[in-house]
Structure 1
Amino acid sequence: MAAAASENVDNQLKPESESEPKPLSKNAQKKLLKQQKYQVKKAEKKAQEKEQKKKAQERKHKEWEETLANVTEEERLKLIESRITLRKERMEKRSEEKEKKIERLTQAKEIGQNIVVDVDFAHCMSETEISSLIQQIMYCYAVNGRSTSPCHLWLTGIKEQMSSHLDKLPGFDKWFIEKETRCYIEAMADRKDNLVYLTADSETVLDDLDPKDIYIIGGLVDRNRFKGITMNKAQEQGIKTAKLPIGEYMKMSTSQVLTVNQVLEILVNFLETRDWKTSFFTVIPQRKRTGVDPVDCSKLQSLSEEHQDKEGHVGESAEEHDLLERKKVCIEVPLESGS
């Protein structure tokens, strides 16, 4: 009885926030509803794409069977042999491309530009935002693997939520990147002077990429809630900061904050071309620019259009429209070698 009475008194003394869950604000309710609607829409689109793919395969199979049925036996054997030869050539080409990719990434680990994606922000994000970041990381890995001058890519701060999400990716254990549970400041303590955090809040403009430096990209979605978080982190750690020279080549219709995959792709493009202008106009979507572009982008139009809807911020219509499409592009055949 005494224990029960004591517990009752303790409950009465507890603040309301501890005894009952705090009701969501109107904005939080709207955001939750929006996320739920997005998940439903995502599931419906996935099911629709799966059904369309199934029907396309059935149609192709039927057309192939009809073709074989309407030719002579000799022609039939030639068609089958031709198809087998074509498949063999495709497999050999993929195998050759895979070997070249492994060679490029192996070389990048030795002499490539070190670029870190700091994923130690999971505690700041919702599940939907974390999923969005995972998509961006997948795209980063695919872009780097296709590059003729890939970087030495790192993921640091892989803990708890982020670790469980990444482990669910097909073939992630075979990704040809560095995976660190520690923060970069610990994992690269002997190279602290070479750490450079890329943040739009920095006053230092990045003119070139120094091979000795290690450039850090903040793995954070919906940064509007956390203005200055990466800049503050870098200042607290006592490391250098810099921002991309976007303002020197184009005017942005919104802030200069880009998604993780956009920043990584700009850097990879620059490593290939050593040209900031080409890199920006190839990657940054037209809708994020304003006014007349100061350069002739006709040659870059197709490349620019390819990236116009590869955004990662939660709630943007572009993401809702293209998230699944990006996933198709990003998931590649895993490399044989481990990281």
Structure 2
Amino acid sequence: MAAATENDDNDSLANHLKPDSEPAPVNLSPPPPAEEKPLSKNAQKKQLKQQRYEAKKAEKKAQEKEHKRKEGERKHKEWEETLANATEEERLKLIESRRSLRKERMEKRSEEKEKKMERLTKAKEIGQNIVIDVDFAHLMSESEISSLVQQIMYCYAVNGRSSSPCHLWLTGVQGEMSTQLDRLPGFEKWFIEKESRCYIEAMADRKENLVYLTADSETILEDLDPKDIYIIGGLVDRNRFKGITMNKAQEQGIKTAKLPIGEYMKMSSSQVLTVNQVLEILVKFLETRDWKTSFFTVIPQRKRTGVDPVVDCSKPEPLSEEHQEEDDLLERKKVCVEAPLESGS
């Protein structure tokens, strides 16, 4: 049985089964080197474009970090000057006021953490179970695993601040994937299920409720069923392994489904979403029960065409400005290699 653990450290970002029978083995071995084909010119162009995009994001992140450092130095200097120019009585009042504000912030943060743990505990008891399947780590390079670990980190942050969080699982956690996850600050305190086994083994007595989310499925996911367990494929650069999640689900004899994105918007040529974006779409839907709100809140504008299909405007609009600012902050901090649309292959 996986152990659920609690997280007190990762809020700053953005801000059991016993098998009834032995499952059939699934062959997920990577193809032999002889069968691997060189990248086409078009694929090389896309790869180069992705590398430039990642380099630009890294540069922007470094600039923001430097700006934050300078801003901190500026504020510290202003504070020192204010104290130097104040009388002894004024200085004591300023220091006491600052201490009071700091204490108030700490109390508020403690209260928020307590409420978060209450929500996550309730989600474990009666919430929607969502699995991130990281059983593909042996197909990825060390840097790709690192990218996936970053995406998982954002998944946990987004889920933790949600008013209707899911109960999150990581299955197939072994080898390098386990090593990199353990390096995350506070990971051992995460309120999450960490399983070294594949979900098909860990949840064998609920096999009929397993639903793999893949863009190759012909079944459109109209709603989230509380009894079902939805699986997101944790595989970076899966273009090398076309159809792998669909094939895996079929060999295991479990249900599949795809997100109804096409019913609400048209995607641009970059039809890819990160694992954390797929998770956030599901969490937003749990909050709003509305796909339009979920897609338009989470999917970046650059991934959409200029014209979207006409949709029912009577449905709720995107979330508040406060939530949107949090989403934008997460988006600026992400330095991830993206996974395909609807977490499919």
TM range (shorter): 0.7 to 0.9
Residue 227 of structure 1 corresponds to which residue in structure 2? 242
Give SS of 2:230's match. Answer: strand
Asked if structure 2 preserves the Cα contact closer than 8 Å seen for 1:114 and 1:214, the reply is yes
CA contact (8 A) 1:121 1:220 kept: yes
| Max Rg structure | 1
Q: Do residues 271 (structure 1) and 295 (structure 2) align?
A: no
| CA displacement at 1:271 relative to structure 2 | 0.3
Is the Cα contact below 8 Å between 2:173 and 2:195 reproduced in 1? Answer: yes
- Cα 1:266–1:33 change in 2 (3 A) is closer
Aligned residue for 1:284? 299
Partner of 2:267: 252
* Partners of 1:188 and 1:221 in 2: CA distance: 24
Measured in 2, the distance between the counterparts of 1:56 and 1:112 equals: 42
Alpha carbons 1:246, 1:256 under 8 Å: kept: no
Residue type of the partner of 2:202?
Answer: A
Q: Which structure shows the higher helix fraction?
A: 1
Name the residue aligned to 2:189.
174
In structure 1, the partner of 2:115 is 100
CA deviation profile, 1:4-59 (whole Å, cap 9, x unmatched): xxxxxxxxxxxxx99xxxxx968899999999999998887777666554433332
**CA apart distance, 1:313:** 2.6
CA RMSD of superposed structures (Å): 3.3
1:112 aligns with 2:127: yes
Structure 1 unpaired stretches of 5+: 1-16, 19-23, 316-339
TM-score computed with the length of structure 1 as normaliser = 0.77
Is contact 1:281-1:300 (8 Å) kept? no
Mapped partners of 1:180, 1:257: distance in 2? 27
The 1:175/1:232 distance shift into structure 2, 3 A limit, reads: same
* Whole-angstrom CA distance in 2 between matches of 1:49 and 1:257: 26
**Cα distance change, pair 255–106 in 1 and its aligned pair in 2 (3 A):** same
Where structure 2 has 5 or more consecutive residues not aligned to the other structure, the ranges are: 1-31, 340-345
1:221/1:312 contact within 8 Å kept: no
What is the percent sequence identity of the aligned residues? 81
The residue identity in structure 1 corresponding to 2:134 is V
Q: CA 1:263–1:121 in structure 2 vs 1: closer, same or farther (change >3 Å)?
A: same
CA contact (8 A) 1:286 1:308 kept: no
**AA matched with 2:81:** E
- Please, which moves more after superposition, 279-288 or 92-101? 279-288
Query: Which residue, 206, 224, 242 being the options, matches 1:209?
Result: 224
Task: Tell me whether 1:76 sits opposite 2:100 in the alignment.
Answer: no
Q: Which of 217, 228, 233 is 1:218 aligned to?
A: 233
Alignment-derived partner of residue 276 in structure 2: 261
Contact kept? 1:202, 1:243, Cα under 8 Å: yes
Greater shift in the superposed pair: 28-37 or 191-200: 28-37
Which moved further from structure 2: 104-113 or 27-36?
27-36
Q: What aligned pairs does 1:285-300 form with structure 2 within 5 A after superposition?
A: 285-293=300-308, 294-295=310-311
CA distance in 1, matches of 2:82, 2:45: 55
Distance in 2 of aligned mates of 1:300 and 1:115: 22
Would you say 1:243 and 2:267 are equivalent positions? no
Give SS of 1:176's match. Answer: coil
Q: 2:216 aligned with 1:193, yes or no?
A: no
CA positional deviation for 1:277: 0.7
Kept in 1: contact 2:214–2:256 (CA 8 A):
yes
Alpha-carbon separation, structure 2, partners of 1:273 and 1:29 = 40
1:325 is aligned to none
Q: Which has the higher contact order (CA 8 A, sep 6+)?
A: 2
